[in-house]
Amino acid sequence: MRFLVITKATADSEAGVQPATEEFETAGKFIEEMVDAGVLLAAEGITPSAQGVRIYFDGDAKTVVDGPFTETKELIAGFFLVEMKSIEECVEWFKRYPAPRLSNGDSTNLEIRRVYGAEDFGDNMTAEQQQAVKERDAKGIW
């Protein structure tokens, strides 16, 4: 199953403070390990909300509002898309995430959310339909 792991913005990330070289290295090592283990599908860092835009929808009205946005700790600073056997495996992996040390001594968090997948949709195929798929695949046509 897939998980979206969201890292949160901090005063530093919102200020566009780049991580120190050594932080880059530890983060890189963490990513390498996930790639080696075959669990990482995608990972990106996100620029400060000052460069972002929000679109508010109210009925038919659409309002475009430029960043920055204020509630720093609720903003996202990056994400990982990973494939794990269970949320527990995802938790164990991300306990190893090298969280940035914040210059103001503040704490941060990351959030793990499961992505909807095949396991969420009821398997309502009839036995006959299942058989048809198996036979079709067995033929290997296409």
Angle of CA points 3, 112, 108, to nearest 5°? 145
Would you count residue 65 as binding other proteins (CB under 8 A)?
A: no
Between residues 68 and 78, which has the closer beta carbon with respect to other proteins? 78
Would you count residue 44 as binding other proteins (CB under 8 A)?
A: no
Would you count residue 89 as binding other proteins (CB under 8 A)?
A: yes
Would you count residue 136 as binding other proteins (CB under 8 A)?
A: yes
Burial of 49 (0-12, 13-18, 19+ CB in 10 A): buried
Cβ(49)–Cβ(9) under 8 Å?
yes
Query: In this chain, which of 46, 81, 102, 110 binds other proteins, going by CB under 8 A?
Result: 81
Neighbours of 98 (CB within 10 A): 16
Between residues 55 and 138, which has the closer beta carbon with respect to other proteins? 138
Please tell me the distance from the alpha carbon of residue 24 to that of residue 18, in angstroms, as a whole number: 9
Between residues 32 and 66, which has the closer beta carbon with respect to other proteins? 32
Please tell me the distance from the alpha carbon of residue 3 to that of residue 101, in angstroms, as a whole number: 25
Contacting range for other proteins; rule: CB under 8 A; set: 4-12, 60-68, 98-106, 111-119: 111-119
Residue carrying structure tokens 């969420």: 120
Q: Residue numbers of the site for other proteins (CB under 8 A)?
A: 1, 35-39, 41-42, 81, 83, 85-86, 88-89, 91-93, 117-119, 123-142
